[in-house]
Structure 1
Amino acid sequence: MKYWAVVKRLDPHIEEEVTLEVEGFEFTGFAFICPYEIEVGRRYPVSIGFTILDELIIREIYEGRQELERIDEGFQYYLRGLLQVDSIDTGVVFTDEDEYFADYPDLIGKYVEMKVDRISIEFLKEDNI
């Protein structure tokens, strides 16, 4: 999904680590594409996704929450939100580009929790949003 994001923090040691605020949610992700220099406090167009390195596990939750919860200090997150056929709405919509959710048809339309290895961020050129 494409959004306008404010850069809140850049890690001085890990070049790809960036903390963004999108739609009132703050999270740290891995900027795998950044075609220009970015600065803290500025707003940029971004595309946001998720990366699964091993196995995806999705489980139903009954609280109806929408949130992003960082796991420790790494890139892993719990995404909690409403599962759709091709996305999960955690307050920020993450599109399922790799069709993981097709394996969970019984959870479509329900609130779920899934663990992702990282949130992927692509900085876009302004004419791509």
Structure 2
Amino acid sequence: MIYRALVKKLDPHIEEEVILEIEGIEFTGFSSVCPYEIEVGKKYPVLVGFTILDELVIRESIEKTKELERIGLGYQYYIRGVLHEDSIDAGIVLTDEDEYFSEYPYLIGEHVEIKVDRISVEFLRDSV
């Protein structure tokens, strides 16, 4: 899903790190694609996904929450929300570009928690 994200902060040392706010949800992302210069305080069209470096850890959640919870000061997050075939709705929809969820058809439509190594952000040229 394409969102208009407000850039809250850019890291002066790590070029790809960006703090965004989408629909009231603030998170630190890793900008994998940025075809133009971005500025703090401006809104840009983005796609939001996630990156798993080792192994996907996914479990059904008893809690019916939708949230992004940062783990420590790094880029890892717990994503809690409703699992769909190609995305997870955690208050904002994060796409599953690598088709991890295809291995979990029994969890589609359920509340789950996944641990990701980072939230990936792709800045788009198209306007929303």
- How does the TM-score come out when normalised to structure 1? 0.95
Distance 2:57 2:15 in 1: 29
Aligned partners of 2:5 and 2:103: how far apart in 1?
Answer: 31
In the alignment, structure 2 segments of 5+ residues that lack a partner are: none
The structural deviation recorded for 1:45 is: 0.6
Q: For each residue in 1:46-80, what CA deviation from the matched residue of structure 2 results, as whole angstroms up to 9, or x when unmatched?
A: 11111111000110111100000001111110000
In structure 1, the gaps of 5 or more residues are none
**Percent identity for Structure 1 against Structure 2:** 68
Moved over 4 A (4+): none
**Residue type at the aligned position of 1:48:** V
Across the aligned residues of Structure 1 and Structure 2, the Cα RMSD in angstroms comes to 1.0
What letter is aligned with 1:94?
L
Is residue 2:62 matched to residue 1:38?
no
Does the residue aligned with 1:126 lie in a helix, a strand or coil?
Answer: coil
Matching residue of 2:47: 47
Deviation at residue 114 of structure 1 after TM alignment: 0.1
1:91 and 2:91 aligned: yes
Per the TM alignment, residue 85 of structure 1 is displaced from its structure 2 partner at its CA by 1.4
Higher deviation after alignment, 113-122 or 98-107: 98-107
Kindly provide the CA deviation profile for residues 2-54 of structure 1, in whole angstroms up to 9, marking residues without a partner as x: 11000001011111100000111000010111111111110111111111110
Once residues 85 and 34 of structure 2 are traced to their aligned partners in structure 1, the CA distance between those partners, rounded to angstroms, is 29
Number of residue pairs the alignment of both structures matches? 128
